[in-house]
Amino acid sequence: MKVAIIGQGYVGLTISAFAGEFFEIVGFDSNFKIIDQLNEGISHIEGVDSATLQKWIKAGRYLATNRGSDIVDVDLVVIAVPTPLTEDRKPDLGFIEAACKTIGENVKRPVLIINESTSFPGTLRNYIKPAIEKYSPSPIAHLYAISPERVDPGRGDFNQKNTPRLFAGLTPEASAKTREFYSKFCDQLVEVSSPEVAEAAKLFENTFRQVNIALVNEFAQIAHSLGISVYETLDAANTKPYGFMKFTPSAGVGGHCIPVDPTYLAAIAEDHGAPATFIRRANEVNLEMSEYIVRRVVEDNGGNLQGKSVLVVGVAYKPNVADVRETAAELVIEHLRRKGAVVSWHDDVVGNWKGESSAPLDGADIAVVVTKHDGVDEKKILASAPYVFDTTGKVKGAKGL
């Protein structure tokens, strides 16, 4: 069976690596640089081994491409393209639309089309199917299904195989074929009664995290004002064996999912006249964390950062990945610069970002730890500046939340 995977990023390439054992994969991407790298057997995604990719290429089971002609004869298509927010923080289905155009214009016989991109309930039924039909030169009876992706890049314990996978087809035949596809490389499949339930479940999973992270971030501020340790208090609460789940405070939330998906849920809720006040406020609390942190740093440093050299340690949105999408570090840096600080950043996992390169981990007046990669030595962080503010709770001996 030949499978086209549209989008070869975190989600699409991860699926390609797992599915490559059973299927011939055409990795379709619009980025030439990524295509060239992938065809040379070089993975650009943490968790996807270049050796695995090379194995599939050697066996003739993997090709990266941006040519529509390479997907004409596929049996199945997976959509794994970005679903970001527009400038005014509304759902942006532009990449989905472009993927539908590629599929509609090139796939000439009936196939199963599975969407893995995260979007609001109704996207498969009311958006993807009509868009593909619009771009198909003649009517084709494709099957449609959704299986929201749950991959957590950089994570060792859970992967495509052992993470239960939700799915639903628009028809029973689509559901059956979707089960058949994923059962090759996924241990547990969970079928739900409609694509809308699967789409909503994915959004709710990440909204749950966004809201709980906001709650703990607010609590960190309360604990500080009360003069108690937020970490000790959380550990104490966490001794309760039921009804509590521990989240830890941070400079905010980043990545392509947690700061974005709840806004998709809020947008569709409001379109239907339902309130999403809690979700909206959680997003604001997390965004405001960067300002709070800079305020604390200013207070501890004589009320003034003018001309002081500040090193932000870790700009990736989470440890051990190079992903800087929606990273909280961006807002922290912005607030520090507004206060007149001379800001540089250290993150050798990221390397280059926004035209700047990772600076050495030393010689600053102030260091603010936003993300602590495992490979960064705690002692070196503490020695990098006379004052170190740690937002991660991992640098013992530093000031912190």
Ligand X SMILES: NC(=O)c1ccc[n+]([C@@H]2O[C@H](COP(=O)([O-])OP(=O)(O)OC[C@H]3O[C@@H](n4cnc5c(N)ncnc54)[C@H](O)[C@@H]3O)[C@@H](O)[C@H]2O)c1
- Binding positions for ligand X, rule: CB under 6 A: 6-12, 28-31, 34, 80-83, 95, 98-99, 102, 116-118, 149-151, 153, 256-257
Instruction: State the nearest-atom distance from the C-beta of 30 to ligand X, in Å.
Output: 4
* Nearest to ligand X of 26, 367 (CB atom): 26
DSSP 8-state code for residue 71? G
* Nearest to ligand X of 136, 309 (CB atom): 136
Instruction: State the nearest-atom distance from the C-beta of 181 to ligand X, in Å.
Output: 17
Distance CA 178, CA 167 (A): 8
Catalytic one among 6, 100, 257, 269? 257
Instruction: State the nearest-atom distance from the C-beta of 264 to ligand X, in Å.
Output: 9
CB 64 within 8 A of CB 35: yes
* Nearest to ligand X of 9, 400 (CB atom): 9
Instruction: State the nearest-atom distance from the C-beta of 148 to ligand X, in Å.
Output: 7
CB 131 within 8 A of CB 104: yes
Q: Which residue is nearest to ligand X (CB)?
A: 9
Distance CA 265, CA 89 (A): 12
Please confirm, yes or no, whether 257 is among the known catalytic residues. Answer: yes
Q: How far apart are the first and last CA of the chain?
A: 53
According to DSSP, the β-strands at 356-357 and 2-6 are: unpaired
Dihedral of the alpha carbons of 70, 9, 260, 185, in degrees to the nearest 10? 90
CB 167 within 8 A of CB 195: no
Distance CA 94, CA 273 (A): 24
Distance CA 380, CA 362 (A): 8
Instruction: State the nearest-atom distance from the C-beta of 398 to ligand X, in Å.
Output: 29
* Nearest to ligand X of 153, 400 (CB atom): 153
Residues labelled catalytic:
257
